[in-house]
Structure 1
């Protein structure tokens, strides 16, 4: 079976850069479109996706339709989803010139608005916030399209009795940064986001707690062990959007100094140190950044040094190895904008993105570049066009997915650059909204640097 060849016009590489950043940005935004749940808009541009999960409800019947499916599965996990929205929206705040010049600005607003509308729906009471729709175990036993799901889709929330400051902080951060990017585009939406952000932040601050300890019945997915990182980022973003110094005081008190493991859906002190340095220019945050990136850049020694693959990928962990490199590349680019080791950090970020885009002789981005993955672990992309039936048989099929999941980055290679494009290898071939967020942010940063004649 071949791919369906719906027409995706590739924008010309007017920049003359090694990789066509306009094409990467366009296709990454397409990936997020393919992840949409709920009633799709009339201009749905993914022909193999239709309306799905139209009965997603809260525990009291609240409408929880919409949002994004997390990965190759069909659970809506609010924690990594909000984390992805924060990074994506931050990239639009920081590198709007890149989205504008690539012709993707309107599509980018549309891209982030979809999950933001869902995050707002999840805020069903002052101290009540839904963070998951779907049962991870039931869901993972089903190989088929989201349009065909029949299993129960329970929903889970944090409350004052079962608090989750990590969830609250991440939702508040996403909404606060979005309130800034929508300020001129849609003032009413911007004001709504800011209002909800403040309320959710107050909930997180008033009722401290870790969501995966409070609501164990949601299952062992995306467990959290800290909430101060999310609250620090939320407070910093709220300070930037309101100028209220109480938020800055809070952000500084929540932040944890020293070396950081990396930026991810569960670990955000790298983001808070970069934000706090941007805002305050205090040496203590510069030290945090330099300590962390000294360990991330090649040549580091000691127990905190990040190892490298033979071909040059900073290899943090086998789970989403590319995602961690891309997230930290994005952080390095923003730190560079604030004046910290700009040449070194930018060149390092460009090298990590080059690895993902094809420097080793293959692309890790579906539908882009040379020899890209075509067996990514993604149920909907692996199923034939509706109305043909789809089943677990398609999980084992040796041929490429019938649909091109344009723009998705896969989990990535092992510590020796080893990689097989096999659907059943979900460690290396899973895709996820949090995988693409920092990646797309970093690409927008490289495009912006090229526009400003700082980096080729």
Structure 2
């Protein structure tokens, strides 16, 4: 989401439901190469690495960067991920990226084959960093780098000389949403590493408990504590109760169902906001919270995650989790009388705001996970008069995945390096600027402008990057100036990893 020349679309084009259903359910072309897409989707995270790069680094045009992060407060904060096309480490979306990447491994790791090791390496690059960011008791680092200064320059991460300010959350300046999301990420990572590195898994879990307790004990929003460093880039619009419940849900799962975390969920679930109000480019959007899932709002994720336990316990089957997870499904499926999303003529899901493919990948991931739970429980979802089976959820999710990979009116893959036609001018500093090897001389703050403004394709290929995606009419401007369409983000790719692993396995088995 970071970057220069920010602009978000003012509204949504609402399409007729009949046309939408027809377009979404039409026969599709041959399946894309999910295995290749999975490999590249995971590879992308190596291009987003900050810090000292390992000898195994595969995107070799990237080099070491930000090696003094944390020095302003006497901490080692070297590492982690740049969230998008800029050089800021926004910990709120970074933690969500790690959570969903770990969830992809937990649910579909067995379907990743040789890519499982690379997926775990991507999780660990994030979880190692989050351990650093929480290494001081009752302190959580919420962000590194001044975003205003960073966004005023177009320079390589290897060259950047803008302030690398560390923004701390503590007892007097709380930030429950970023702290609880980090707790969720650490707990999910603990599960992901349980079979391969039990000692590391245990360390992650202990830290997750500690950070969750801090987030819960000192409640408040990082919007106030970090101020303009967080807003308008990653403001928390949905409040922090959802992150606290999200963290508790992951800790319940990671601790093998510790009653403390279940009681926390049970006692606080009714405190979730019934609606989410977002301000996007000066426009206000209001949505039912059960339909929201992304770096800001965790509501649908909580319900889907918790529904697995409820489906196995008939005494609690009428609880809010399954009911709200069902409502989420009904808000997405094109045939549903209660859907709250729109679809492009070519069948792509749309929700308000920029970087739309974050919604398509996150919502599709939840559909697949919920379908998996439904199959085990022999369950269907009733959307008024329409009955949705697990296979229907899977079919809708597959349609989104295939669209992103090229089965769309333009025949364009929105994953860089996948297929023959893909974005060539993405909003990403490292991709647009010559590498250190090709241009050893420093490129200062304005030194990169000529490359940004050039109409030539990117100098470096950020393989696997999924960009923000097309407009509601399926058109796409392959332009660095069009940030919502051309900028990749880690939280678009992280749930896409799980989707690709699932469809690769199911496609192979057919």
State the TM-score, normalized to the length of structure 2. 0.82
Instruction: Tell me if the contact between 1:320 and 1:410 (Cα under 8 Å) persists in the aligned partners.
Output: yes
Quick check: 287-296 or 371-380, which moved more? Answer: 287-296
1:47-101 Cα offsets, whole Å, 9 max, x none, are 211111101115531010100111110000100000011001001001112212x
1:205 corresponds, among 209, 216, 226, to: 216
Matched residue of 1:147: which SS? coil
Distance in 1 of aligned mates of 2:225 and 2:144: 16
DSSP 3-state at the match of 2:466:
coil
After superposition, the C-alpha distances for 1:304-347 in whole angstroms (9 at most, x for unaligned) are 62111111111112411111011000001010011153111101
Q: What is the match of residue 286 of structure 1?
A: 322
- Distance, in Å, in 2 between the alignment partners of 1:182 and 1:250 is 25
Match of 1:418 in 2: 475
- Relative to structure 1, the CA distance from residue 89 to residue 21 in structure 2 (aligned partners, 3 Å threshold; closer, same or farther) is same
Aligned-partner SS, 2:406? helix
Please name the residue that 1:311 is paired with.
346
Indicate if the aligned counterparts of 2:289 and 2:299 stay in contact, CA closer than 8 A. Answer: no
Mean Cα displacement is larger for which, 372-381 or 432-441? 432-441
4+ residue runs of structure 1 moved beyond 3 angstroms? 252-259, 299-302, 448-451
Aligned partners of 2:90 and 2:71: how far apart in 1? 14
When residues 298 and 195 of structure 1 are mapped into structure 2, their CA distance, relative to the original with a 3 A threshold, is: same
Tell me which residue corresponds to 1:40.
53
Is the partner of 2:169 in helix, strand or coil?
Answer: strand
Counterpart Cα distance in 2 of 1:422 and 1:228: 38
Q: Please show how residues 415-454 of structure 1 align to structure 2 within 5 Å.
A: 415-450=472-507, 453=509
Give, in whole Å, the separation in 2 of the partners of 1:262 and 1:17: 31
Whether contact under 8 Å (2:356, 2:484) holds in the other structure is no
Residue pairs, 1:55-134, within 5 angstroms: 55-57=68-70, 59-100=72-113, 103-134=114-145
CA shift for structure 1 position 352: 0.9
Is 1:296 matched up with 2:326? no
Paired residues, number: 435
RMSD: 1.8
Q: Distance in 2 between matches of 1:217 and 1:223?
A: 9
Superposed CA deviations along residues 377-435 of structure 1, whole A, max 9, x for unmatched, are 11011012325255111111111101111111110111111211111111110111111
> Is the 8 Å Cα contact of residues 75 and 135 (structure 1) preserved in structure 2?
yes
**Paired residues of 1:252 and 1:276 also in contact (CA < 8 A):** no
- Alignment check: 8 A CA contact 2:427 2:487 kept: yes
Cα offset, 1:253, TM superposition? 3.4
**8 Å CA contact 1:119, 1:171 repeated in 2:** yes
Alpha-carbon distance in structure 1 between the residues aligned to 2:357 and 2:250: 26
Please name the residue that 1:352 is paired with.
400
Q: How does 1:158-173 map to 2 (within 5 A)?
A: 158-173=169-184
Q: Distance in 2 between matches of 1:172 and 1:223?
A: 19
Larger CA deviation: 221-230 vs 198-207? 221-230
| Kept after mapping to 2: 8 A contact 1:366/1:374 | yes
Contact 2:415 2:467 in 1 (8 A): yes
Of stretches 283-292 and 220-229 in structure 1, the one that deviates more from structure 2 is 283-292
Preserved contact between residue 376 and residue 421 of structure 1 (Cα < 8 Å): yes
Give the match's secondary structure for 1:148: coil
* Equivalent position of 1:384 in the other structure: 434
In structure 1, what is the equivalent of residue 193 of structure 2? 182
Q: Could you list the runs of 5+ residues in structure 2 that have no partner in the other structure? A: 1-28, 275-287, 312-316, 375-379, 381-388
CA contact (8 A) 2:53 2:64 kept: yes
| Superposed displacement of residue 17, structure 1 | 6.8
2:472 aligns to what SS in structure 1?
A: coil
Q: Structure 1 residue 18: deviation in Å?
A: 1.2
Q: Extract unaligned runs of 5+ from structure 1.
A: 1-15
Residues 179 and 190, structure 1, Cα contact 8 Å, conserved in 2: yes
SS of equivalent residue, structure 1 residue 146: coil
Could you say which structure has the greater relative contact order, defined with CA pairs below 8 angstroms and 6 or more residues apart?
2
Task: Measure, in 2, the Cα distance between the counterparts of 1:52 and 1:217.
Answer: 24
